[in-house]
Amino acid sequence: MIAYNQAEKTVQNMAQQMAHAADQLQLHGFGRYYNAMVGAYVSEVYKTLPYSTFAQMTNRAQTPLCSVEQAITYTTLYGKSHFDRFSSVIGQIMGRSTRTKAVTKTINVVDYGCGQAIASLALLSYIETYVNCENFTLNFYLVEPSQTTLDIAVLLVSKMSSRIAANVVIHQHHTDLAGFLATDSHTLAPADYSLHLFSNVLDIPKIQQIIPTLSTYLQAIDGKQMVIAAGPQYSNNYTGLEQLKQSLGGVTVKQDITDFSVESEIYSVTNNHWQHSHSRGVMMGLCFKNSLDDAGKTDLAA
Ligand SMILES: C[S@@+](CC[C@H](N)C(=O)[O-])C[C@H]1O[C@@H](n2cnc3c(N)ncnc32)[C@H](O)[C@@H]1O
């Protein structure tokens, strides 16, 4: 009974700390959110979920996470470097000039295997920094098989959205990619263009297997499309990026498959201290306009 009460209290504490971290995101942005998640890890999680257990239970975070404890561990381990890496890729592909003119745009953002929506948060942070988005409508489609991380993703995207002037609509798809393509993919709203985000997912075998169907789907969406993909420098990631590029065929290569590196301050769960890390990634950016010929002009203020 005492052990049960303790476990219940730990779960409650984690939920409270998660809510606090989400408030930090809304108030101060991603850096303070990450710090708060590290705080939750250090105060609640590290005693009960060692890295080796987490890695084994989740196949190094490739399989859907199934608890807030795992979600906090994931963010502590990878959140800051994944965010910095995807931010760097978006900046590289979309440019780092400030667009002050208010243009009216509807943009779809599909975050495939979104986890806790780190790629979508990086995009929102980019928009906050560089784009006058007061006349934007952003439709987020969050696709994720883990209900736990999907719930967190919806919370975080809504908190981060309150930092910008755009009208943001969030659609959640609790399914794997195969399920999304089979049943939900037709739900994209009419838009000026659609962004397709692949952050640390193209190395997953079940996703690679379905790339031909994914390409057919991407080629069937009306209008301008942009694919932004990134992941760590594992051979399976190069394979996934290459497969998607080849499968899509005649696209404008905005950013070819390229290695890059970012520097981040992260908390090392194996050494129990903060450290400066070089996060090495591989990225790709592709544009196409289905059935028309001026691909490559996709720009947040074009
Ligand atoms: C390494 S995590 C990346 C999460 C997030 N995109 C990020 O960058 O932090 C891999 C994600 O893919 C999801 N996933 C695993 N298999 C999947 C599948 N077949 N279809 C869609 N998502 C899948 C997992 O649930 C997990 O959220």
What pLDDT score was predicted for residue 2?
Answer: 57
Burial class of residue 208 (count of CB atoms within 10 Å of its CB; 0-12, 13-18, 19+): middle
Q: Is the CB of 142 under 6 A from ligand 1?
A: no
Residue pLDDT, tens place only, 54-109 = 999 998 888 999 999 999 999 999 999 999 999 999 999 999 999 999 999 999 99
Distance between CA atoms of 50 and 55, rounded to whole angstroms?
9
Cβ–ligand 1 contact at 121 (below 6 Å): no
Would 63 be classed as within a structural domain? no
Name the residue with the closest Cα to ligand 1, atom 10.
Answer: 62
Closest approach atom of ligand 1 to CA 114: 6
The CA-CA-CA angle for residues 55, 58, 60, to 5°, reads 45
Residues in the chain: 302
Is 70 exceeded by the pLDDT of residue 299? no
Residues 6+ apart with CB under 8 A from 1: none
In a domain, 189, yes or no: yes
In a domain, 172, yes or no: yes
What domain range is 239 assigned to? 79-290
Q: Do the Cβ atoms of 88 and 258 come closer than 8 Å?
A: no
- The total domain count for the chain is 1
Read off the pLDDT band of 292 (50, 70, 90): very low
Indicate which CATH number applies to the domain containing 122: 3.40.50.150
Is there a domain that residue 224 lies in? yes
DSSP category for residue 99:
B
pLDDT band of 6, cuts 50, 70, 90: confident
Nearest to 241 by CA among 94, 89, 92: 89
pLDDT at 22 over 60: yes
Atom of ligand 1 nearest to the CA of 79: 9
Nearest CA to ligand 1 atom 8: 199
Tell me what pLDDT residue 4 has: 60
**17 located within any domain:** no
- DSSP code at position 139: E
Mean per-residue pLDDT over the chain, rounded = 92
| Pocket of ligand 1 contains residue 115 by CB under 6 Å | yes
Q: Phi and psi (nearest 5°) for 288?
A: -160, 155
User: How many alpha carbons lie under 13 Å from residue 161 in its C-beta half-sphere?
Assistant: 18
